[in-house]
A and B are shown apart, each in its own frame.
Chain A
Amino acid sequence: MYASGYIAQQVLNGTVLGSMYALLALGMTVIYGILRLINFAHGAVITIGAFCFYVLFVSLHLPFLAAIALVVIFGGITGILLDLVAYRKIRGGPEVALLITSLGFYIFIENLVKMLASPQPYAFRPPPFLSQVNQTAGGVTFLTIDIFILLVSVGIMVFFALFVKKTKVGIAMRAIAESGETARLVGIDINRVIGLAFVLASAIAAITGFMWGGKYGQISYAMGFMAGVKAFVAVVIGGIGSIPGAMVGGYVLGIAETFSVALLPPGYAEYRDGIVFAILILVLLLKPSGIMGERAKV
């Protein structure tokens, strides 16, 4: 029915998209684990990362690596600012208050970008060495940036998994996720650890913004919302609070989304978002704890 080359192509596309979802889901699940906060503002950091790269690389002509490093640093700063300005003050309050505040920040950042940049999307060109078109014998076409995305995301995920598992701060993060009060009692500086979680999560989101723009060739002020919300869907599918779950959820979602577009008749591509959320509602109903989550009280 479909040629194997076509299927391989879709698997590749789905994996690349899934990598980006997985990276975003990683940040969201860490913050959710610690604060019980769905950080909608996480999506806005994607937009910040993408526009930051655009300004640094396309407008200011900085070298690629320097631009990427600055994007990561800037993303991290955004994260810690969010924590300091907003979440620290209402931490421990009702979870809906945190959610509403993060929505407020999302809308704030999105519209700030809209005001400063433009309501129109920008064409986004990664450096030439990343936008080469390659073709394999089987008829699978890919850009070099696809490989970049796969390698960098796997690298970040391995680094992150080791960080959380081995380092002292990582262990402290898991301790706070388990019980913030107990963690405080045994002498963990909660504010510092949470701040660091925000820095890491947002830095990862910022670099994902660059990847997103590079993959799709355009960036806009509203690009972060759907990406952010879908990353949360990936978190739910994988099991809230579980880091391996977030990665699995990201890849499942990326491949499911790509295939739902690829296998539906032409003209039905617009069903994509609807399908993603239908999957979400199904997962919530059938197995609210997700694929790899602990038993969650929903």
Chain B
Amino acid sequence: MNNRTTARERKAIPGHFKALLAIVLFFLLLGGAHLVLSRYLMYIISVMGIYIIATVSLNLTNGYAGLFSLGHAGFMAIGAYASTLLTFPVSLRQAYDLPLLPALLGGQGYQWPFLPAILVAGILAAFGAVLIGAPVLRLRGHYLAVATLGFMVIITTMAKTLKWLTRGSAGIQVIPHYTNVWWVYVWALITVYVIWRIINSSYGRAMMAIRDDETAAQSQGINLVKYKLLSFVIGAFFAGVAGGLYAHLARAIRPYEFSFTMTFEIVIMLVIGGAGTMIGPVVGAALLITLGYALKPLEESLRLYGLIELVYASLLIVIMLWRPQGIVGGNLTLQGLGQWFRRLLGSTGERHKGTLPDPP
């Protein structure tokens, strides 16, 4: 799908320069926002970034490799609990019934710094993905969706029941407040970059070939298990990172937060933005988080609890019925962005194939 544009990109070095410039500009903008905007707005922007990481990483599994997974919140839970337990202040562990930490992970007397803790969070989530993925990934479509959903339920059940490790349903509070917009958006940038590099490599092409036609891909000598597992595990790694960042932003985690609602939210963001495109998940996550926080005052003043999810679900249904490829049908190139804006303004641009073709 992206072969053509990458070839063009390779020749045109200014494209890289422009991208770099855009990144620098973005971070300058973020710095400006940090000075001007309130703490609440910065919190929302951080949440947005975390969901961008989660959605972009799900896109690798779901959009590019075509493995419809409903287990993403499970990986986020693993990441959130792992980084929380590693960084929990030693002095508070006794008081909060969290003295236990395996010696392998530094033991109970050692509080990890944030960066290695986040990395371990991602690695543990990836490890979980290997464990569940190795057996489950030979299933397809529906079966895979329900099996990964089952995995997510098992993870939340464990978070509820392993009280010596997670404090059960009460959750863990007073998590150190490490996450800020910088952490979030540097990680978001890394996620987007890594996944962009993967899908523009032979790995990515193999994944997309599997998505488009598994049998044909296999007959071309593509190792199905290897590429499926790879996309699943890399997706899980970044989900773990997103979970870790979330824990240190919200400063309190409970098992039920990482359940169906969160999984579906991420899937909805991906589908609405456009699965199998580079900026689709970013747009989807940004749009839905903005919408969610914009509707929050309305929901609370009218006491219409559930309004936000209702709007999310309506959007999902509308998109599925009338624009199943998502809002965005482009990719992360300036040409793609230009096309997207032109399309937004009404003229029809080039269409790209997502996971979901037009209805018959």
Pick from B151, B157, B305: contact of A115, CB below 8 A: B305
A: contact size bracket: 35 or more
In the complex, what's the smallest C-beta–C-beta distance from A75 to chain B, in angstroms? Answer: 20
* Stretch touching chain A among B23-31, B178-186, B313-321: B313-321
Q: What residue in chain B is nearest A297 (Cβ atoms)?
A: B140
Chain A residues with Cβ below 8 Å from B260 are 225
Chain A binding surface, main DSSP class: helix
- B141/A107 in contact, CB under 8 A: no
8 A Cβ contacts from A77-125 to B = 86, 89-90, 92-97, 99-101, 103-105, 107-108, 110-115, 118-119
User: Could you tell me the distance between the alpha carbons of A270 and B146 in the complex, rounded to whole angstroms?
Assistant: 20
Q: Are B267 and A100 in contact (CB under 8 A)?
A: yes
Are the CB atoms of B360 and A86 closer together than 8 Å?
Answer: no
Besides A86-B321, A111-B306, A229-B146, 5 other A-B contacts (C-beta < 8 A): A94-B355, A97-B359, A103-B267, A236-B143, A285-B135
- Could you jot down 25 A-B contacts, CB within 8 Å? A38-B145, A90-B324, A93-B324, A93-B359, A94-B356, A94-B357, A96-B68, A96-B141, A96-B145, A101-B316, A103-B267, A103-B316, A105-B313, A107-B312, A108-B313, A111-B307, A114-B306, A115-B306, A233-B150, A270-B160, A277-B150, A278-B154, A281-B136, A285-B136, A298-B138
Which residues of B lie under 8 Å from residue A276 when comparing CB positions? Answer: 153
Q: Is A227 part of the contact surface with B, judged by Cβ < 8 Å?
A: no
Q: Is B196 an interface residue (CB 8 A)?
A: no
Whether the Cβ atoms of A115 and B310 lie closer than 8 Å is: yes
A93 to B140, CA, bound (A): 16
Is there an interface contact between B147 and A119, defined as CB atoms closer than 8 Å? no
Is B208 engaged at the interface, CB distance under 8 Å to the other chain?
A: no
- Bound CA span A277–B132, Å: 12
Check B161 for interface membership: any CB of A closer than 8 A: yes
- Nearest CB of A to B272, in Å: 10
Instruction: List B residues 126-145 near A (Cβ within 8 Å).
Output: 135-136, 138-143, 145
**Shortest CB–CB separation between residue B309 and chain A, in angstroms?**
4
Closest to B163 in A: A267
- Is B13 in contact with chain A by the CB < 8 A criterion? no
Distance, CA A96 to CA B276, complexed state (A): 14
Are A112 and B356 in touch, CB under 8 angstroms?
Answer: no
A251 to chain B, nearest CB (A): 20
Nearest-CB distance from B113 to chain A (Å)?
33
Partner of A92, one of B136, B324, B360: B360
Between B150, B153, B359, the greatest number of chain A beta carbons within 10 A of the residue's beta carbon is seen for B150
Q: Please report which residues of chain A, range 150-183, place their CB below 8 angstroms from some CB of chain B when the two chains form the complex.
A: none
With the chains together, A90 CA to B356 CA distance in Å?
Answer: 11
State A280–B317 Cα separation when bound (angstroms). Answer: 28
| Chain B residues in 8 Å Cβ range of A254 | none
Contact partners of B161 in chain A: CB under 8 A: 268, 270-271, 274
Closest 10 CB pairs of A and B: A277-B150, A274-B157, A114-B306, A111-B306, A108-B313, A107-B313, A104-B316, A111-B309, A111-B310, A104-B317
Hey, which chain B residues are within 8 Å of A54, CB to CB?
none
Q: Is A53 an interface residue (CB 8 A)?
A: no
B142 touches A274 (CB 8 A): no
Q: Is the CB of A99 within 8 A of B153?
A: no
Question: Total contacts A to B, CB within 8 angstroms?
Answer: 140
Per-residue CB proximity of A180-214 to B under 8 Å, as 1/0? 00000000000000000000000000000000000
Measured between beta carbons, the chain B residues less than 8 angstroms from A268 are 161
One digit per residue, 1 when the CB lies within 8 angstroms of any chain B CB and 0 when it does not, for chain A 116-142 equals 001100000000000000000000000
Q: A90-B359, A115-B305, A285-B135 are in contact. Are A104 and B145 (CB under 8 A)?
A: no
A271: chain B residues within 8 A (beta carbon) = 157, 161
Task: Out of B157, B304, B356, B360, name the residue touching A96 (CB < 8 Å).
Answer: B356
Whether, in the assembled complex, A232 has its beta carbon less than 8 Å from a beta carbon of chain B, the answer is yes
**CB distance B306 to A119 under 8 Å?**
yes
Task: Please name the residue on chain B nearest to A37 by beta carbon.
Answer: B142
Chain A residue contacts of B320, Cβ below 8 A? 86, 90, 97, 100-101, 104
B139 & A298 in contact (Cβ 8 Å cutoff):
yes
CB B293 to nearest CB in A, in angstroms, measures 17
Q: Tell me the bound Cα distance from A273 to B161 in angstroms.
A: 11
A110 / chain B contacts, CB cutoff of 8 Å: 306, 309
State whether B146 touches A280 (Cβ < 8 A): yes
Interface contact B139-A280, CB-CB below 8 Å: no
- Residue A262 interfacial (CB < 8 Å): no
Query: Contact: B321 with A89, CB < 8 Å?
Result: yes
Which residues in window 287-344 of B have CB below 8 A to A? 304-307, 309-310, 312-314, 316-317, 320-321, 324
A94 to B149, CA, bound (A): 20
- Inter-chain contact A111/B136, CB cutoff 8 Å: no
Complex-state Cα separation, A113 to B309, whole angstroms: 12
> Bound complex: CA of A108 vs CA of B314, how far in Å?
7
Nearest CB in chain B: distance from A29 CB, A: 13
- Contact between chains at B151 and A108 (CB < 8 Å): no
Distance in angstroms between the alpha carbons of A119 and B135 in the assembled complex: 38
Please measure, in the bound complex, the distance between the C-alpha atom of A96 and the C-alpha atom of B313, giving whole angstroms.
Answer: 16
Q: In the complex, which residues of chain A have a beta carbon less than 8 angstroms from the beta carbon of B147?
A: 280-281, 284
Interface positions, chain B 179-238, Cβ under 8 Å from A, are none
Contact indicator A232/B146 (Cβ below 8 Å)? yes
- B153, B161, B355: most-surrounded residue (chain A CB, <10 A): B153
B-contact 0/1 string along A33-51, CB 8 Å cutoff? 0001010000000000000
